[in-house]
Amino acid sequence: MIVLWFTVCGIIGYLLGSFNGAILVSRWLRKEDIRSRGSGNAGLTNFYRNYGGADTLLVMAIDVGKTVLACFIGRWIMASYDPVWFDEGAMLCGGLSVIGHVFPLYFGFRGGKGILTCDTLAAFIDWRIIAILLGVFLVVVILTRYVSLGSIIGCLIYPFLFWIRYPIDKNITDGTIMMTVMAFLIAGLALAMHHANIKRLIQGTENKFSFHKKNK
């Protein structure tokens, strides 16, 4: 029975996550697809570099909102089944929302890199996890001006923070394995989506962050 409820959570999360904010806003307000601009990625950084801050706030609202909604729905569904699976429901539904953001059903499975949605999920689950992630990210970006490097390092430590928060050797029957596996899955996915950035960082050709957009 629990498999059925987890399946429902996963499907709902994926469908919600497929509403990619960058694609929606670029089509609504700019009458074009963000994936035809810059790096071709439907993510927050590429959107900001091409359209600036005002529209980017709307993108953030959509992507944060859909992830939070997915977490609430997952939490509600699994808590209705058994309160023990409270956090696991949020993690599963929210985690599939991240996957939907990266591979959106409605937009040819070409979405963003999942950093904002991963961070939103972490913030929903435990504020201490997102506090550490944001702290590391800001330090790296301030010192290097590479947003991608901050994101990559965040991806590397992301699942281990969940592992510490939900130690699987404490009680393997309470769902903590699922929490950690999902954290490794979505962090690994986000890291894989940065493969081009990693290559450019190694070559020294990666773009540094600027508060000025490149194009109008």
pLDDT digits (tens, 9 = 90+) for 3-31: 888 899 999 999 999 999 999 999 999 99
Average pLDDT of span 111-140? 96
Beta-carbon contacts of residue 186 (< 8 Å; ≥ 6 apart):
95, 98, 99, 114, 118, 121, 158
Region at 13 (left for phi over 0; alpha for psi -120 to 50; beta for the rest): alpha
Residue pair 138/148 in contact (Cβ under 8 Å)? The answer is no
Average pLDDT of span 105-111? 96
pLDDT digits (tens, 9 = 90+) for 49-62: 899 888 999 999 99
Average pLDDT of span 102-122? 96
CA 151 → CA 52, 113, 206, distances in Å?
20, 10, 13
Helix (H, G, I), strand (E, B), or coil: what is residue 81? helix
Task: Output the 3-class SS for 164-199.
Answer: HHCCCCCCCCCCHHHHHHHHHHHHHHHHHCCHHHHH
The residue type found at 48 is: Y
pLDDT digits (tens, 9 = 90+) for 130-188: 999 999 999 999 999 998 999 999 999 999 999 998 876 544 445 578 888 999 999 99
Query: In the predicted model, what is the mean pLDDT of the chain?
Result: 90
pTM of the predicted model as reported, rounded to 2 decimal places:
0.89
168 compared with 108, residue with greater pLDDT:
108
The tally of CA atoms less than 13 A away on the side-chain side of residue 63 is 32
Confidence of residue 76 (pLDDT cuts 50, 70, 90): very high
pLDDT digits (tens, 9 = 90+) for 187-214: 999 999 999 999 999 999 988 876 655 5
Torsion angle in degrees (nearest 10) through CA of 48, 49, 51, 57: 10
The pLDDT, as a whole number, for residue 212 is: 55
Q: Where are the alpha helices (DSSP H) in 82-175?
A: 86-102, 115-125, 127-144, 147-165
Report the candidate in 135, 105, 116 with the shortest Cα–Cα distance to residue 186: 116
Cα-Cα-Cα-Cα dihedral sign, residues 164, 65, 45, 144: negative
